[in-house]
């Protein structure tokens, strides 16, 4: 997987790319990350990458020429890649899209700034706009790093445990159950007994039900997109949770 990141602040990526799973993936050659400074492609002596918007208004807009030239440079290896603009108006990133992106060979991430990017660049070069949430950042760099991180961990062999990615929160639309480790007792609270008994069938059922309970409590709207097997439905009915799920689906499906 190759990531090409177009930004006016490449130094923002120095530390995140040198830590944890991302660093190990880079060292192992599982991913490559190329940083492209948009300022290097500015066409004036002051290296201007932004200007005032036509029609008036607040702030500045990123000029199309430097970003376009920078994008072409990122495509100079003969692979155009999928060009993604990080933008508040983009479709919100979710786990399903992360998994789709993990199937690509090259992603070009364009980090917007200020009041946005000239629309003509978007129309000519951008394949997709992505937002990481309904809030505003000072620029697309943090959002780009979120994509690099979330996509990298989905690649085969990146995580130490092969099942980590498939068992994560949102992997099947549910929030993850609570986790416990040593000590067995902490400030009066003990680890649930079922996790200590060694019965993997009971543990699996317990974790499934806890995952459902957490989702009902925190994000019941997620059930609209969740499908349960016949065996799981029986477990839910026995635990008295199935009707609550049906109610949540009715409420949030409309």
Among candidate residues 40, 65, 99, 115, the one labeled active-site is: 115
Residue by residue, what is the 3-state secondary structure of 174-186? CCCCCCCCCCCEE
193 annotated active-site: no
CA of residue 168 relative to chain centroid, distance: 13
Give the active site residue among 128, 149, 168, 214.
168
Which is catalytic among the residues 4, 16, 50, 153? 153
- Structure token digits, residue 103: 């199937």
CA distance 149 to 65: 29
Q: Is 88 a catalytic residue?
A: yes
Q: Which of 10, 53, 88, 192 is catalytic?
A: 88
| Rounded alpha-carbon distances, angstroms, from residue 174 to 70, 208, 226, 231, 245 | 40, 9, 8, 17, 12
192 tagged catalytic:
no
Other beta carbons less than 10 A from residue 253's beta carbon: 10
Q: Rounded distance, CA 43 to CA 109, Å? A: 22
Active site residue 16: no
Return the active site residues: 88, 115, 153, 168
């Amino acid at each position: 997987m190759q990531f090409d990141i177009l930004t006016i602040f490449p130094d923002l990526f120095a530390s995140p790319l040198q830590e944890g799973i991302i660093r190990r993936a880079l060292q192992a050659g599982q991913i490559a990350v190329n940083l492209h400074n948009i300022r290097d492609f500015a066409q004036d002596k002051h290296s201007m990458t932004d200007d005032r918007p036509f029609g008036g208004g607040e702030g500045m807009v990123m000029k199309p020429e430097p970003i376009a030239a920078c994008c072409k440079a990122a495509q100079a290896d003969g692979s155009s890649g999928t060009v993604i603009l990080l933008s508040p108006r983009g479709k919100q990133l979710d786990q399903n899209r992360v998994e789709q992106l993990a199937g690509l060979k090259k992603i070009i991430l364009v980090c917007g700034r200020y009041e946005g990017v000239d629309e003509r660049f978007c129309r000519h070069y951008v394949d997709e706009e992505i937002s990481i949430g309904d809030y505003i950042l000072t620029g697309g760099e943090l959002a780009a790093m979120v994509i690099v991180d979330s996509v990298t961990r989905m690649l085969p062999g990146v995580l130490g445990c092969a099942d980590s990615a498939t068992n994560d929160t949102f992997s099947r639309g549910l929030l993850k159950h609570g986790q416990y480790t040593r000590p067995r007792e902490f400030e009066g609270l003990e680890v649930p007994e079922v996790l200590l008994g060694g019965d993997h069938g009971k543990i699996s059922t317990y974790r499934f039900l806890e995952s459902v309970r957490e989702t009902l409590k925190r994000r019941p709207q997620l059930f609209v997109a969740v499908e349960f097997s016949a065996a799981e439905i029986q477990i839910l009915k026995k635990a008295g949770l199935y009707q609550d799920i049906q109610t949540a689906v009715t409420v949030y499906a409309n």
